């Protein structure tokens, strides 16, 4: 996909091939057709070649470049590329790289570096920072410097091999600017071959797990982000064992949430306590059991437990497991199924009524949640009804996500589920833009609060300029609502939570973005209908203060120590 409209070369002299063309060749070889970034004197050859040959999306902040690459990766199943400048640019990328690191997302972050002759000299070359590589090591699993004109391809391929190894993780490469200009795509040393390092599960462990599964009469499965790639075998496993499926936020959609056995991202909801207490086995797959999903690790979970994870350190890290299956869940789960099937009719299977009870509890917790969220119930229903199947739902950290968006809005495909797992605000819009650029076949809906959106307001200009099929819904309550609720619940005071908020209609108009201000669900429905039909960006503001019925104040279960407990 060449981009003649943006080609910078003159008609007579085609631009000389540089390290940018090495990057383009590598991206093409992996089917990646876009990079996100901010241009700089220290990455010009990379940006120029990608823009000429593929697509370069000029976001307005390096953190957004990483978020967009991350959203692209999650929505497409490929890796995403972010290009940043040396020093401040690479530093700006750090917060979003930490999100990619927490979520295990395949981001290839390429940053410039000063001329190789001055590396490490501390002379104060423009953009020079001490210890850039150490910073990259802190925010990535793999970090390396391109150290010679003929080394670029090998370093990029090593980074890609590392970010693709299970569990997935982001990688960073720093590339001195002289070597970017001088790298010759036709004279690169071959990339070192990389063997598959994924652990292979032991047959004895499969047998031990199957013995436990066959004894279970009231089983539950907990699927985390590591279960995203299993597909149909996970659905078959829960159907065959009659297990209810709990998911973490990251594991949503590993079996479509419309399935009657999917309890979903409700494990810490008190409505599930009795069911969990009565269960007699838990099979966990690729999960961290994060604090915010387990009542800070105090949630009681069934025993015995079987834990599947590609990372041996994850087995028993939070909840002890009788059997640990170390391997790729996409291989382990089909093997479990096979062994269960081979065991045949001797297996007792689930107790009569267990699967029905799972479905009743599933419906019950959803009903209770709907009753607590006032007019959001209808907004959530409108989104569910009006978005075509498979639409991507990118959520910033805001009350509408934390309360209902992360649980009630149904996710039927893991690629549709985009949320910053590390909990950092301000990342949703750029993640949504990246997803929408990578998946033009479906609309992307971004759920953002007024506070989170303000972190990277500049990305509204990226949205307008790139014009992907992306609907930005801003839930405006004039501040950091969730912190306001926490303060009111704990002290009755307000500090640092009420914000001066832009006129979003005027802002959208200044960017020529279609806009609708909605105060009730009828207005919201007609705005969303228009937005989906547009196949282009649109901004919808929801005036949260006008919602009727008002939702119950959402107060997250944050542990605040009681001062009287001081010893
Ligand atoms: C990077 C980062 N800084 C600060 C926070 C703390 N924080 C969590 S939610 C939140 C408020 C977000 O406000 P808004 O987007 O308007 O959503 P609302 O809570 O009002 O629904 C803040 C400041 C955070 N999670 N991440
Ligand atoms: Mg707000």
User: For each of the chain's 567 residues, which pLDDT tens digit applies?
Assistant: 344 444 444 455 667 899 999 999 999 999 999 999 999 999 999 999 999 999 999 999 999 999 999 999 999 999 999 999 999 999 999 999 999 999 999 999 999 999 999 988 888 888 788 899 999 999 999 999 999 999 999 999 999 999 999 999 999 999 999 999 999 999 999 988 888 989 999 999 999 999 999 999 999 999 999 999 999 999 999 999 999 999 999 999 999 999 999 999 999 999 999 999 999 999 999 999 999 999 999 999 999 999 999 999 999 999 999 999 999 999 999 999 999 998 876 556 789 999 999 999 999 999 999 999 999 999 999 999 999 999 999 999 999 999 999 999 999 999 999 999 999 999 999 999 999 999 999 999 999 999 999 999 999 999 999 999 999 999 999 999 999 999 999 889 999 999 999 999 999 999 999 999 999 999 999 999 999 999 999 999 999 999 999 999 999 888 888 888 886
Tokens of 212: 């436990």
Specify the 3-state DSSP secondary structure of 325: strand
Pocket test for ligand 1, best of 406, 451, 473, 547 (most atoms within 8 A of CB): 451
CA distances from 211 to 234, 240, 336, 375 (A): 18, 15, 11, 48
Protein residue with its CA nearest to atom 22 in ligand 1: 480
Pocket test for ligand 1, best of 99, 474, 483 (most atoms within 8 A of CB): 483
99 CA distance to ligand 1 middle (Å): 15
> Can you tell me which residue has the tokens 């690629």?
415
199 CA distance to ligand 2 middle (Å): 44
- Kindly report the number of other CB atoms within 10 A of residue 523's CB atom: 16
Sign for the pseudo-dihedral over CA of 539, 545, 551, 555 = positive
pLDDT of residue 127: 77
425 CA distance to ligand 2 middle (Å): 11
126 CA distance to ligand 1 middle (Å): 34
Measured from the alpha carbon of residue 423, the closest ligand is 1
pLDDT of residue 348: 67
CA distances from 533 to 346, 443, 464, 513 (A): 54, 10, 17, 15
Tokens of 45: 């050859």
Contact indicator for 462, 58 with CB cutoff of 8 Å? yes
116 CA distance to ligand 2 middle (Å): 46
From 291, 311, 327, select the one nearest 421 (Cα to Cα): 291
Q: What is the pTM of this model?
A: 0.96
Specify the 3-state DSSP secondary structure of 276: helix
| Pairing of β 470-476 and β 538-543 | parallel
φ, ψ dihedrals at 249, nearest 5°: -60, -40
Contact indicator for 431, 459 with CB cutoff of 8 Å? no
Contact indicator for 71, 96 with CB cutoff of 8 Å? no
Contact indicator for 15, 48 with CB cutoff of 8 Å? yes
pLDDT of residue 241: 94
Ligand 1 atom with minimal separation from the 424 CA: 26
Segment holding 94, helix H or strand E: helix 88-103
Ligand 1 atom with minimal separation from the 399 CA: 21
Report the alpha-carbon distance of residue 513 to residue 511 in Å, rounded: 5
Pocket test for ligand 1, best of 480, 500, 554, 557 (most atoms within 8 A of CB): 480
Specify the 3-state DSSP secondary structure of 5: helix
331 CA distance to ligand 1 middle (Å): 38
Report the alpha-carbon distance of residue 438 to residue 441 in Å, rounded: 9
Contact indicator for 269, 366 with CB cutoff of 8 Å? no
Ligand 1 atom with minimal separation from the 453 CA: 15
Alpha helices in 294-421 (DSSP H): 329-343, 354-372, 376-386, 399-400
Contact indicator for 67, 103 with CB cutoff of 8 Å? no
Strand partners, 448: 474
- DSSP one-letter code for 403: I
19 Cβ neighbours under 8 A, 6+ residues apart: 45, 46, 49, 146, 152, 175, 179, 180, 181, 182, 183, 185
Cα 136 to its chain centre, rounded Å, is: 20
Alpha helices in 216-353 (DSSP H): 232-241, 273-278, 329-343
Report the alpha-carbon distance of residue 393 to residue 397 in Å, rounded: 13
Ligand 1 atom with minimal separation from the 452 CA: 15
Ligand 1 atom with minimal separation from the 423 CA: 25
Protein residue with its CA nearest to atom 20 in ligand 1: 481
Pocket of ligand 1 from Cβ distances under 6 Å: 396-399, 423-426, 449-452, 475, 477, 480-483
Q: How far apart are the first and last CA of the chain?
A: 67
From 109, 168, 100, select the one nearest 144 (Cα to Cα): 109
255 CA distance to ligand 1 middle (Å): 30
Tokens of 187: 């004279």
Contact indicator for 507, 517 with CB cutoff of 8 Å? no
Strand partners, 474: 448, 541
From 455, 488, 478, 496, select the one nearest 554 (Cα to Cα): 488
pLDDT of residue 6: 46
- Kindly report the length of the chain: 567
Q: Is the peptide bond before 167 cis (omega within 30 degrees of 0)?
A: yes
φ, ψ dihedrals at 14, nearest 5°: -65, 145
Contact indicator for 282, 301 with CB cutoff of 8 Å? yes
71 CA distance to ligand 1 middle (Å): 19
Protein residue with its CA nearest to atom 10 in ligand 1: 480
Q: Is the peptide bond before 426 cis (omega within 30 degrees of 0)?
A: no
């Amino acid at each position: 996909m060449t981009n003649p409209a943006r080609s910078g070369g003159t008609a007579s002299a085609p631009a000389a091939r540089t390290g940018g063309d090495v990057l383009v060749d590598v991206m093409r070889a992996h089917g990646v057709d876009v990079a996100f970034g901010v241009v700089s004197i220290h990455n010009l050859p990379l940006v120029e070649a990608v823009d000429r040959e593929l697509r370069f999306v000029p976001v307005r902040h390096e953190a957004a470049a990483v978020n967009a690459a991350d959203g692209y990766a999650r929505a497409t199943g490929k890796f995403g590329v972010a290009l940043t400048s040396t020093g401040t640019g690479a530093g700006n990328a750090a917060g979003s790289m930490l999100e990619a690191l927490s979520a295990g997302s395949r981001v290839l972050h390429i940053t410039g570096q000063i001329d190789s002759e001055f590396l490490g000299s501390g002379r104060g070359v423009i953009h020079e920072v001490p210890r850039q590589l150490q910073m990259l090591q802190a925010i990535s699993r793999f970090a390396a410097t391109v150290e010679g004109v003929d080394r670029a391809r090998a370093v990029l391929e090593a980074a890609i091999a590392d970010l693709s190894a299970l569990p997935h993780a982001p990688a960073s490469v720093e590339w001195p600017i002289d070597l970017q200009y001088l790298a010759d795509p036709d004279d690169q040393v071959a990339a070192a071959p990389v063997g598959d390092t994924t652990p292979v599960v032991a047959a004895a462990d499969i047998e031990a797990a199957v013995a436990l599964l066959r004894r279970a009469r009231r089983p539950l499965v907990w699927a985390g982000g590591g279960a995203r790639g299993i597909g149909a075998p996970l659905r078959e496993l829960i159907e065959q064992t009659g297990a209810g499926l709990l998911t973490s936020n990251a594991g949503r959609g590993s079996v479509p949430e419309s399935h009657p056995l999917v309890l979903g991202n409700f494990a810490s909801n008190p409505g599930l306590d009795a069911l969990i207490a009565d269960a007699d086995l838990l099979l966990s797959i690729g999960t961290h059991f994060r604090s915010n999903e387990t009542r800070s690790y105090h949630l009681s979970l069934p025993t015995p437990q079987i834990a599947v994870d590609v990372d041996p350190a994850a087995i028993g890290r939070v909840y002890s497991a009788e059997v640990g299956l170390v391997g790729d869940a996409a291989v382990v789960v089909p093997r479990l199924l096979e062994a269960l099937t081979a065991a045949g009719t001797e297996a007792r299977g689930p107790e009569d009524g267990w699967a029905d009870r799972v479905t009743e509890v599933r419906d019950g917790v959803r009903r209770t949640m709907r009753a607590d969220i006032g007019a959001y119930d209808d907004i959530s229903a409108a989104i569910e009804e009006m978005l075509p199947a498979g639409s991507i739902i990118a959520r910033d950290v805001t009350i509408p996500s934390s309360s209902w968006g992360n649980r009630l809005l149904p996710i039927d495909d893991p690629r549709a589920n985009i949320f910053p797992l590390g909990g950092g605000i301000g990342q949703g819009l750029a993640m949504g833009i990246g997803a929408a650029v990578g998946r033009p076949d479906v609309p992307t809906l971004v759920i953002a609060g007024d506070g989170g959106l303000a972190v990277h307001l500049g990305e509204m200009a990226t949205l307008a300029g790139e014009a992907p099929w992306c609907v930005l819904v801003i839930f405006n309550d004039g501040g950091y609502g969730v912190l306001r609720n926490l303060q009111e619940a704990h002290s009755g005071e307000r500090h640092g939570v009420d914000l001066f908020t832009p006129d979003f209609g005027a802002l959208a108009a200044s960017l020529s973005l279609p806009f609708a201000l909605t105060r009730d669900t009828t207005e919201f429905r007609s705005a969303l209908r228009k937005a989906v039909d547009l196949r282009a960006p649109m901004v919808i503001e929801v005036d949260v203060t006008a919602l009727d019925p008002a939702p119950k104040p959402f107060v997250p279960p944050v542990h605040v120590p009681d001062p009287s407990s001081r010893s």
